[in-house]
Amino acid sequence: MAENTEEKEIQLLSEEHSDFYKKLRRKIQRWLDENGVENKYAAYLLLAPDFFYLLVKLVQDERVPGKEKVKLLAVIGYFISPVDLMPELILGPIGFIDDVALAAFALNGMINRVESGIVHENWPGDGDVLEEIQNVIQKADEMIGSGLIKKIKKYLA
C-alpha cells in the first residue's frame, strides 16, 4: 500500500516537473526570439530545461544512489526557487545561467560516481550530455564570474 502511494507521488512530481520543463523551454525560446539569438549565452540558456529535466529523471532513477539524489534535489529546488544568485524575476531568462552552471557542476560530480550510461539514458537534449556539461563548466567563469562559481561549488560541497 505504501509503495503505491510512493509511486503516485513520484508520478505527480514527474508531471509537475514536466510542465515546468515545457514552460521553461517556451519562456527561454520566446525571450531569445524577442531579444535576438545573437546572445552569446543562448546555447547555454537553452540547456536550462534539458538539465532540469535530466535532474528530475535522475532523481526518479532507482540506479542513482540516495546520497546523489539529495544533491540533485537541492539543484532542482534552486531551479524552482525565485531567490537565487541571479534571480530570473529581475534578470529574465538570462538569470538561468547560474542554474545551468549549478546543474552542470552537480551532474559532473555525480557522473564520476555512477555509470554514465544512466545519464545518457535520461538526457532529453540534443548532442552529447557529457560534452554539454563540460562546455558549461569551461565557460562558467566567463558566464557568471569566478565569485559566483565559488559560491556554487560551496553550495554543492
- What would the mean pLDDT of 127-134 be, rounded to a whole number? 93
* Residues 14-61: tens digit of each pLDDT: 555 567 777 878 888 888 888 765 667 788 888 999 999 999 999 999
Q: At residue 6, does pLDDT exceed 70?
A: no
pLDDT band at 2 (very low <50, low <70, confident <90, very high): very low
Amino acid at 111: I
Q: At residue 89, does pLDDT exceed 70?
A: no
Quote the number of domains for the chain: 1
Q: What is the pLDDT of residue 130?
A: 92
Contacts of 151 (CB under 8 A, 6+ apart): 85
Q: What is the pLDDT of residue 10?
A: 47
- What would the mean pLDDT of 101-107 be, rounded to a whole number? 92
Q: Using CA atoms, how far apart are residues 108 and 119, in angstroms rounded to an integer?
A: 10
Domain range holding 28? 2-156
Q: What is the pLDDT of residue 135?
A: 92
Q: What is the pLDDT of residue 93?
A: 73
Distances (CA, A) of 26 to 30, 42, 96, 110: 6, 13, 14, 28
Instruction: Using the CB atoms, write b or e for 67-80: b if 16+ within 10 Å.
Output: ebbebbeebbebbe
Contact by Cβ (8 Å): 124, 54: yes
Q: 3-state DSSP call for residue 139?
A: helix
**Greatest C-alpha distance within the chain:** 53
